[in-house]
Chains A and B, each alone.
Chain A
Amino acid sequence: MQGAAWLGKRIAELRRSRSATVGAVIISFWVFIGLAAPLVSPYSPTEIQGARLQPPSLEHWLGTDHLGRDVLSRLFWGTRMVLFLAPISVLLGIMIAAPLGLMSGYVGGRLDAFIMRAVDILLSFPTLLIYILIITSIGSSVIIVVIAISLGSIPPITRIVRSLALDERTKDYVNAARLRGERRRYILLREILPNVSGPIIVDSCIRVGYAIMAIGSLGFLGLGIPPPTPDWGGMINEGRKWIFSMPWTVVAPAAALSSVVIGLNLLADGVREIAQQR
């Protein structure tokens, strides 16, 4: 009951911003497709349905791929991978980076210097290089992809959380908490964290978009989720050879990918807008 009321309120707030509304609609659409993939997909995503590289038709709305699988069904099932793995890897990243950033910003001094230099070292590598390094040395699996992406997101999130905490630390409510002898843990998690969570959420929306692109890139490079599991990046890679003759095998997953990323960005912008109005 309370949950429904809370949700209702949030939805009412979202509707105040146009970009948030559009973003939320796009994301909800893909979440629905992902959840309902077995129901809405006309065919199996992995079984061969007939002739290879068929153009779009009434039976196969987006045609078939180089092995004769239904592109639409693969696209729908692929949603699951993308919309499940990307948020998980970002969440994992936040769970590690947020405490690091909070400690770094609030405690300062040597701890801050240590954490920040470690972060700088990680930041000095191109993120893709880190992914490739991890995946090629351990081997490709769903879990490894998630770990690689969350590891890549730790440095930037740590930096953002740190600067937010640095700002909050000087506020008088934190001083008041120190004066009544609150433990450091309490100050970090109960006083500061709730006040920096807004910007962290906005940032993570965008970051989920990055993660989706990263999964796509890895799939494209053949380092992503191992076949035959449908994955948008992998689909783009597979369709690449026929991009001029049979563009649908590439265009469909690419369009899906960018619509999710754009939806997330719109949502993030809108949430920021709403938070500022409050």
Chain B
Amino acid sequence: MQQSTPEPVLQVDDLEVAYATRLGAVKAVRNVSFEIWPGEALGLVGESGCGKSTLAFAMMNHVAKNAEVAGGRILFRGEDMVRKSGRELNRIRGNKIAMVYQDPMAALNPSLRIGLQLAEVLMEHKGAAGDDARAECIRMLERVHMPDPPAIMERFRHQLSGGQQQRVLIAMALLTNPSLLIMDEPTTGLDVTVEAGILDLIAELKRAFGVTILFISHNLGVISRIADRVAVMYAGELVEQGSVQEIFRDPQHPYTAALLGCVPKISAGRQQRALQPIPGKVPALHKMPKGCIFEPRCDRAQDRCRSDHPDIVETAAGGAVRCFFAGSPEIAEAAGTQSAAGEGGHAASGEEVVLRIEGLRSYYKAQEAGLGGLDGRHKRGFVKAVDDVSLTARQNSTIGIVGESGCGKTTLAKCIAGLASPKSGEMDFIGVDVARVVEQRPRELLKELQMIFQNPESTLNPRRSVGEAIARPLQLFGTVPPREIRNEVVRLLEAVRLGESYYDRLPRQLSGGEKQRVALARAFAGRPTLVLCDEPLSSLDVSVQAAVMNLLLELQQKFETAMLFISHDLSVVYQLCDQVAVMYLGQFCEIGPTEALFAPPYHPYTEALLSAVPIPDPSVERTDIRLSGAVPSALDPPSGCRFHTRCPRKIGPICETEAPPLREVTDAHRIRCHIEIDDLKAVAPVLDPK
């Protein structure tokens, strides 16, 4: 991608950023050197706490109050950023170097109109006059594909969706035509369909306008989509650098290989179910290992790695890597093939049915926004969160539910758990009618149904020790005799790889992944028949996510539990589930065995979701299908087929007027669409199964 200009836009030499803390000075970034060439996108990956964001802010010489650039140079177009005065830096920041942040909500001022915030950038940096600035802003909004830019200019932040907010911020960053665009996790927290749209936009800007980008993400799939070159960061150091193809095909550093190994992949084939988590965690900054920083977690460490710190060396392919054993064959091998634990997917049918749901509906009263609701003139509507859902869950198998946020996944799980009350429909759980809230269910039944929640921060009572949290269900359900409880808790702690030393710890002393493990142990303590998982992995780092996912599978196999697994991440669902339901606006639009669902015939929505999943493999070719707009309000869902407003395969007025039939592909695979199955079968597969 290097153009004729011989000079890199950004050149970082031996950078060091140090923080002054209570425990003395710690170096959050050490020995970091890299270059970004004009028109290039450099992807920066690593787990959380590896110093990615610190590095990004250091590029503009903008560090926290207690931090300083302690060594090295940052040359931006040949000028050293470290030596610049505050005034000079202000001229560069937001002008020559622009930044797009992770949380668009926090980056936009809630009380100023979008237009004013955009124009301000031009007036500040370019001294543009009001009208010129406005025209330029509108042009820029068009460029980021915002619908009706003049109208957008008049809006406030809360009147835009998350994806639109991020587009506005990208437009804002591009207004001054910066030489370098730093993007810090710009799509994290967005729905996968929205994310795909933003990534398309970034790729297009790069292609059409030659924007130079430093792109930070923890998501390898996103990085592989955007970056030309990739730099892998671990505990404050760059451990590997190289072209995106090389990094993904032939990682040289064990950490890169390990990161790739723990990402669930749709293209990998479902037989290799067990992922390879990275043991341990990123070392604390004041407790850096003496030798190689990755040595404590590396399965190929030798004596030398413990005593000596490896230097960056060039690789044959033109990259750079910080490992003594780079290029030795076993690393590449470890990344390529993974040991297959478990004997593939188990039979989805044949096992005993534990949960049967027919025509379940759950509505809740809409919150009236603003003062309008006070005078009673506005009729309060009902949010049809779950609207006619039927499903069957079997022992020892997992049913996945996927869909964008706001499609009713969580309400469905809460209905099944009895935390929300169903409006109508039948729910039969191991032969008992459970279409009611948990307080009204038979008490003997409660131990059979447990739930694992999304947010590890609130899933445990902060005032209760880990041991107490796990012991309580044992005591309540009488799973084991009272004097055995402590032993059983320890056994469970060992099953989730935490061990007895965690017994007396409080939640605030645990990391997110550890909290989720405790939640797992608590849910499985009473040996339930069915466990509901509401996005239990979504807030965890990839390396931790793989470990928790493996545990979940292990516990399921041990106790022969049925699981209902809610996720927005199709690759996780692909690896974990035997059956998948795709949910849109309170209804299932497709349900079927996993392999069948990930291949044609697809429901058009499934097809679009699949096409949006970021895949950590730059060589995968696939069709790009993008959905426009956001999920419509469940307060007043579209007539006919609920998906017709966004459907790329809409066939005509019938989609708007008539609810589509549920068509059977096979006994277990059903699609709710007006299009004939045979026509859907003719669609090319989104993912090329090589």
Q: Which residues of A contact B (CB under 8 A)?
A: 171-173, 175-182, 191, 194-195, 278
CA distance A171 to B417 in the complex (A): 15
- Assuming the contacts A172-B455, A172-B458, A278-B508, asked whether A179 and B463 have C-beta atoms less than 8 A apart, the reply is no
**A175 and B419 contacting across the interface, CB-CB below 8 Å:** yes
Bound-complex Cα distance A267 to B415 (A): 46
Q: Are B473 and A180 interface neighbours, CB within 8 A?
A: yes
Whether A175 touches B477, Cβ cut-off 8 Å, given contacts A194-B463, A195-B461, is no
Structural contact, A195 and B463, CB atoms closer than 8 A: yes
Q: How many residues of B contact A (CB 8 A)?
A: 29
Q: In the complex, are the beta carbons of A180 and B446 less than 8 A apart?
A: yes
Q: Which residues of A contact B447 (CB under 8 A)?
A: 180
- Rounded to whole angstroms, the CA-CA distance of A203 and B417 in the bound complex is 36
Contact B417 A179 (CB under 8 A): yes
Known: A179-B451, A180-B446, A194-B463. A173 touches B458 (CB 8 A): yes
Given A172-B455, A175-B451, A278-B508, answer yes or no on A180-B461 (Cβ-Cβ < 8 Å): no
Q: Would you list the 3 A-B pairs with minimal beta carbon distance, nearest first? A: A172-B453, A194-B463, A181-B446
For residue B526, give the distance in angstroms from its CB to the closest CB of chain A: 7
Q: Interface readout for B445-477 with A: 1 if CB under 8 Å, 0 if not? A: 011011101110011111110000000110011
Q: Determine the chain A residues whose CB is within 8 A of the CB of B461 once the complex forms.
A: 173, 177, 191, 194-195
- Min CB gap A179→B, angstroms: 6
State whether A176 and B459 are in contact (beta carbons under 8 Å apart), knowing that A181-B476, A182-B476, A278-B508 are contacts in the complex.
yes
Known contacts A195-B463, A278-B508: A179-B458 contact under CB 8 Å: no
Q: Does B522 contact A (CB under 8 A)?
A: yes
Which A-chain residue is minimally distant from B526 (CB atoms)?
Answer: A180
Instruction: State the CA gap A65–B464 with chains docked (Å).
Output: 56
Q: Which residues of chain A come closer than 8 Å to B462, judged between CB atoms?
A: 195
Q: Is B443 an interface residue (CB 8 A)?
A: yes
Q: How long is the Cα–Cα vector from A194 to B453 in the complex, in angstroms?
A: 21
Distance between B365 CB and nearest chain A CB, rounded to angstroms: 12
C-alpha spacing A172/B523, complex, angstroms: 13
CB-CB under 8 A from A278, the residues of chain B are: 508
A256, chain B: closest CB distance, angstroms: 37
Question: Which residues of A lie under 8 Å from residue B26 when comparing CB positions?
Answer: none
Is A176 in contact with B446, judged by CB distance below 8 angstroms? no
Chain B nearest CB, measured from A185 CB (Å)? 13
Q: How far is the CA of A176 from the CA of B418 in the complex (A)?
A: 11
B12 at the interface (CB under 8 A from A): no
**B476 / chain A contacts, CB cutoff of 8 Å:** 180-182
Classify the interface of chain A: helix, strand, loop or mixed: helix
- Residue of A whose beta carbon sits closest to that of B458: A171
- Known contacts: A173-B460, A195-B461, A278-B508. The answer to whether A179 contacts B522 by CB under 8 A is no
Q: In the complex, which of the residues B418, B439, B458 has the most CB atoms of chain A within 10 Å of its own CB atom?
A: B458
B105 at the interface (CB under 8 A from A): no
B438 at the binding interface (Cβ < 8 Å): yes
Give CA–CA (A146, B213) in the complex, Å.
69
Residues of chain B in range 617-650 having any CB-CB distance to chain A below 8 Å: none
Please name the residue on chain B nearest to A197 by beta carbon.
Answer: B463
In the complex, chain B residues whose CB is within 8 Å of the CB of A173: 458-461, 464
Instruction: Give complex CA distance A182, B475 in Å.
Output: 11
State how many angstroms separate the Cβ of B540 from the closest Cβ of chain A: 15
> Which residues of A are found within 8 Å of B463, using beta-carbon distances?
194-195
Q: Which residues of B contact A182 (CB under 8 A)?
A: 476
Chain B hits for A172, CB < 8 A: 453-455, 458-459
Residue in A172, A175, A191, A194 whose Cβ sees the most chain B Cβ within 10 Å: A172
Given the complex of chains A and B, what is the CA–CA distance between A176 and B458 in angstroms?
10
In angstroms, Cα B461 to Cα A191, docked, is 7
Q: Are A176 and B477 in contact (CB under 8 A)?
A: no
**Cα-based distance from A180 to B475 in the complex (angstroms):** 11
Given contacts A171-B458, A191-B461, A194-B463, contact A178 B419 (CB under 8 A): yes
Contacts beyond the supplied A172-B459, A178-B439: 19 A-B pairs with Cβ under 8 Å: A171-B458, A172-B455, A173-B460, A176-B459, A178-B419, A178-B438, A179-B417, A179-B418, A179-B438, A179-B449, A179-B450, A180-B446, A180-B447, A180-B450, A180-B472, A180-B477, A180-B526, A182-B476, A278-B508
B440 to A: closest C-beta gap in Å: 11
By a CB distance below 8 angstroms, the chain A residues around B464 are 173
Please, how many angstroms separate the alpha-carbon atoms of A135 and B477 in the complex?
53
Whole-angstrom distance between the Cβ of A210 and the nearest chain B Cβ:
28
Alpha-carbon distance between A72 and B438 when the two chains are bound, in angstroms:
64
Q: Roughly how many angstroms separate A171 CA and B454 CA in the complex, as a whole number?
A: 11
- Complex contacts, B439 vs chain A, CB 8 Å: 178
How distant is the Cα of A171 from the Cα of B459 in the complex, in angstroms? 7
Q: Mark B525-539, 1 if CB is under 8 A from A, else 0.
A: 010000000000000
A142 to B417 alpha-carbon distance, docked (Å): 53
CB distance from A81 to the nearest CB of B (A): 36
Chain A positions within 8 Å of B453 at CB level? 172, 175-176
CB A113 to nearest CB in B, in angstroms, measures 15
Q: Can you identify 17 A-B contacts, CB atoms within 8 angstroms? A: A172-B453, A172-B454, A172-B458, A172-B459, A173-B461, A178-B418, A178-B419, A179-B417, A179-B418, A179-B446, A180-B446, A180-B450, A180-B472, A181-B438, A181-B443, A181-B476, A182-B476
For the complex, give the distance between the alpha carbons of A128 and B455 in Å. Answer: 46
Nearest chain A CB to B515's CB is how many angstroms away? 11
Output the nearest chain A residue to B456 by Cβ-Cβ distance. A172
Kindly provide the distance from the CB of B151 to the nearest chain A CB, expressed in whole angstroms.
36
Chain A residue nearest to B534 (CB atoms) is A172
Q: Could you tell me the distance between the alpha carbons of A173 and B438 in the complex, rounded to whole angstroms?
A: 15
